[in-house]
Each structure stands twice: as C-alpha cells, then as structure tokens.
C-alpha cells in the first residue's frame, strides 16, 4: 500500500533552518510529484511547492522563493523540504503529499502523517 512517512517533530529557534524528510513506499517513486503543504495551528492549508521526483525540477510558491529548497534522493525514495530563516509564523505541521505528474491531476491522493515544526526562542 502507498505510504508517505515523514520525519519527526522539530523544535528550533528563530533564524534557524529545518529539513523535513518524506519517505515513500508502495509506488514507483519517480512517477509522482511530491508536494509540501503546511498548516499553522488552527488554520487552513498552504502549499509551499513541489519536486518532480523523476527530474529533480521544482516549483515553489512565490511566498517561499529564496527560503525553501525541495530535493529528492531516488536511491532511497525520499523527498526533502528545507526551510531557512525561520520565524515564529513558520510554526506549523508540514505535510508531504503526492500527485500524478500529468496536468489535470494535481490533487493529493496520499499524504504523509505530518511533521510538526515549532519555532520558538
């Protein structure tokens, strides 16, 4: 069965960076995009961007350009999201989720369990 298993919670300080991992199993890793979506406490869902697991190409939301880097390691079917220069408003649960790469199919059929990133001085 398809699974996306994320790394654990991180507590960090303002100005620091964080790197979250997402290990995929149960499907052909390079056949899907892996996206990152975050949810601040009690808030809605916000898309950060995606990595094309086949080519490594990325697409980022403009809000996060220059602060986020999404990568993947195909040898271990794992995608990564690094966010730098963290502020308190980056405190959120960060989810990875997959979509098919075909235009018209950019909806998230499987999600990771979420990784809490807490930024506090």
Partner 1 sequence: DIQMTQSPSTLSASVGDRVTITCRASQSISRWLAWYQQKPGGAPKFLIYKASTLENGVPLRFSGSGSGTEFTLTISSLQPDDFATYFCQQYNSYPLTFGGGTKVEIK
Binding site for partner 1 (CB under 8 A): 35, 44-47, 59, 61-63, 95, 97, 99, 104-114
Note every long-range contact of 12-16, with CB atoms under 8 Å and residues 24 or more positions apart, other chains counting: 12/86, 12/117, 12/118, 12/119, 13/86, 13/119, 13/120, 13/121, 14/86, 14/87, 14/88, 14/119, 14/120, 14/121, 15/85, 15/86, 16/86, 16/119
Could you tell me the smallest distance in angstroms from the CB atom of residue 114 to partner 1? Answer: 6
Could you tell me the smallest distance in angstroms from the CB atom of residue 110 to partner 1? Answer: 8
Q: In this complex, which beta carbon is closest to partner 1, that of residue 16 or of residue 110? A: 110
Could you tell me the smallest distance in angstroms from the CB atom of residue 99 to partner 1? Answer: 8
Q: In this complex, which beta carbon is closest to partner 1, that of residue 71 or of residue 110? A: 110
């Amino acid at each position: 069965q398809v699974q996306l298993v994320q790394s654990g919670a991180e507590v960090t300080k303002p100005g620091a960076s964080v790197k979250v991992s997402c290990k995929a199993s149960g499907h052909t890793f390079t056949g899907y995009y892996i996206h990152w979506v975050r949810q601040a406490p009690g808030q809605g869902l916000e898309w950060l961007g995606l990595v094309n697991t086949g080519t490594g190409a990325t697409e980022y939301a403009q809000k996060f350009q220059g602060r986020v880097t999404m990568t993947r390691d195909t040898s271990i079917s794992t995608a990564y999201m690094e966010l730098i220069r963290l502020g308190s408003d980056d405190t959120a649960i960060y989810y990875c989720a997959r979509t098919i790469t075909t235009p018209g199919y950019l909806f998230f059929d499987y999600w990771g369990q979420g990784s809490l990133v807490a930024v506090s001085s």
